[in-house]
Protein backbone atom coordinates (compact mmCIF):
# COMPACT_ATOMS: atom_id res chain seq x y z
CA UNK A 1 0.00 0.00 0.00
CA UNK A 2 1.20 3.49 -0.79
CA UNK A 3 2.73 5.52 2.00
CA UNK A 4 0.99 8.71 3.07
CA UNK A 5 2.35 11.94 4.53
CA UNK A 6 0.26 14.26 6.68
CA UNK A 7 1.13 17.32 8.75
CA UNK A 8 1.32 16.38 12.44
CA UNK A 9 -1.07 19.05 13.62
CA UNK A 10 -3.41 21.80 12.47
CA UNK A 11 -5.65 24.37 14.10
CA UNK A 12 -8.97 25.59 12.81
CA UNK A 13 -11.45 28.14 14.09
CA UNK A 14 -14.89 26.88 14.96
CA UNK A 15 -17.32 27.41 12.10
CA UNK A 16 -14.61 27.69 9.50
CA UNK A 17 -13.65 25.04 6.97
CA UNK A 18 -10.90 22.65 7.97
CA UNK A 19 -8.75 21.51 5.08
CA UNK A 20 -6.56 18.53 5.90
CA UNK A 21 -3.95 17.61 3.27
CA UNK A 22 -2.47 14.24 2.52
CA UNK A 23 0.34 13.32 0.14
CA UNK A 24 0.38 9.89 -1.44
CA UNK A 25 2.74 10.31 -4.36
CA UNK A 26 3.32 6.58 -4.85
CA UNK A 27 -0.35 5.67 -5.10
CA UNK A 28 -1.17 3.13 -7.79
CA UNK A 29 -4.17 2.87 -10.04
CA UNK A 30 -6.22 0.44 -7.96
CA UNK A 31 -5.62 2.10 -4.61
CA UNK A 32 -8.29 4.08 -2.83
CA UNK A 33 -7.83 6.96 -0.44
CA UNK A 34 -9.63 6.46 2.86
CA UNK A 35 -10.05 8.92 5.71
CA UNK A 36 -10.74 7.99 9.29
CA UNK A 37 -10.66 10.01 12.45
CA UNK A 38 -10.15 9.16 16.10
CA UNK A 39 -11.60 11.31 18.80
CA UNK A 40 -9.71 11.03 22.06
CA UNK A 41 -10.19 7.69 23.83
CA UNK A 42 -12.59 6.39 21.19
CA UNK A 43 -12.32 3.95 18.32
CA UNK A 44 -11.60 5.35 14.86
CA UNK A 45 -14.54 6.46 12.74
CA UNK A 46 -14.82 6.10 8.99
CA UNK A 47 -15.29 9.42 7.22
CA UNK A 48 -15.05 9.03 3.47
CA UNK A 49 -13.13 7.36 0.67
CA UNK A 50 -12.50 7.90 -3.02
CA UNK A 51 -10.60 6.66 -6.03
CA UNK A 52 -10.17 9.59 -8.39
CA UNK A 53 -13.35 11.64 -8.36
CA UNK A 54 -14.19 14.12 -5.67
CA UNK A 55 -16.57 12.73 -3.10
CA UNK A 56 -18.96 14.29 -0.63
CA UNK A 57 -21.07 12.88 2.15
CA UNK A 58 -22.79 14.22 5.21
CA UNK A 59 -19.54 14.43 7.13
CA UNK A 60 -16.98 15.78 4.70
CA UNK A 61 -15.73 16.30 1.18
CA UNK A 62 -12.73 14.61 -0.37
CA UNK A 63 -10.81 16.34 -3.10
CA UNK A 64 -8.30 14.19 -5.00
CA UNK A 65 -5.89 15.85 -7.40
CA UNK A 66 -5.98 14.84 -11.02
CA UNK A 67 -2.67 12.99 -10.77
CA UNK A 68 -3.98 11.36 -7.54
CA UNK A 69 -0.74 12.11 -5.73
CA UNK A 70 -2.45 14.11 -3.04
CA UNK A 71 -5.85 14.72 -1.53
CA UNK A 72 -7.59 17.07 0.85
CA UNK A 73 -10.27 16.27 3.37
CA UNK A 74 -12.59 19.19 3.91
CA UNK A 75 -14.79 19.63 6.95
CA UNK A 76 -16.96 22.53 5.74
CA UNK A 77 -17.97 23.98 9.09
CA UNK A 78 -15.74 22.63 11.82
CA UNK A 79 -17.15 22.28 15.32
CA UNK A 80 -15.43 21.58 18.61
CA UNK A 81 -16.57 17.96 18.26
CA UNK A 82 -14.38 17.64 15.17
CA UNK A 83 -11.24 17.89 17.31
CA UNK A 84 -9.55 14.57 16.63
CA UNK A 85 -6.66 12.82 14.92
CA UNK A 86 -7.37 12.38 11.23
CA UNK A 87 -5.81 9.51 9.32
CA UNK A 88 -5.35 9.32 5.57
CA UNK A 89 -4.91 5.71 4.46
CA UNK A 90 -4.27 4.37 0.99
CA UNK A 91 -5.27 0.79 0.36
CA UNK A 92 -5.76 -1.45 -2.60
CA UNK A 93 -9.27 -2.64 -3.22
CA UNK A 94 -7.87 -5.61 -5.07
CA UNK A 95 -6.58 -7.16 -1.87
CA UNK A 96 -9.98 -7.37 -0.31
CA UNK A 97 -10.84 -6.71 3.27
CA UNK A 98 -7.67 -6.01 5.13
CA UNK A 99 -6.69 -4.41 8.36
CA UNK A 100 -5.80 -0.77 8.15
CA UNK A 101 -2.29 0.56 8.64
CA UNK A 102 -2.45 3.76 10.62
CA UNK A 103 0.26 6.37 10.33
CA UNK A 104 0.63 9.19 12.80
CA UNK A 105 -2.18 11.25 11.26
CA UNK A 106 -2.99 14.94 11.70
CA UNK A 107 -4.14 16.19 15.05
CA UNK A 108 -6.83 18.78 14.33
CA UNK A 109 -7.62 21.20 17.11
CA UNK A 110 -10.78 23.21 16.55
CA UNK A 111 -10.56 26.44 18.50
CA UNK A 112 -13.64 28.23 19.90
- Residues of this chain that interact with another protein (CB under 8 A) are 32, 34, 38, 41-46, 49, 87, 91, 93-105
Least distance between another protein and beta carbon 87 (Å): 8
Q: Give the pairing of strands 106-111 and 9-13.
A: parallel
DSSP H stretches of helix in 1-76: none
Helix, coil or strand: residue 111: strand
Least distance between another protein and beta carbon 34 (Å): 6
Least distance between another protein and beta carbon 100 (Å): 6
DSSP designation for 5: B
Pick between residue 29 and residue 99 the one whose CB is nearest to another protein.
99
Pick between residue 38 and residue 109 the one whose CB is nearest to another protein.
38
Radius of gyration, CA atoms only, the chain: 13
Pick between residue 16 and residue 98 the one whose CB is nearest to another protein.
98
Pick between residue 9 and residue 16 the one whose CB is nearest to another protein.
9
Least distance between another protein and beta carbon 16 (Å): 27
Distances (CA, A) of 61 to 19, 30, 48, 98, 112: 10, 21, 8, 24, 22
Amino acid sequence: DAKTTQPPSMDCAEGRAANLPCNHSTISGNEYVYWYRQIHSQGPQYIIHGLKNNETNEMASLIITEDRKSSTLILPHATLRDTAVYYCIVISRATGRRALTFGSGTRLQVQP
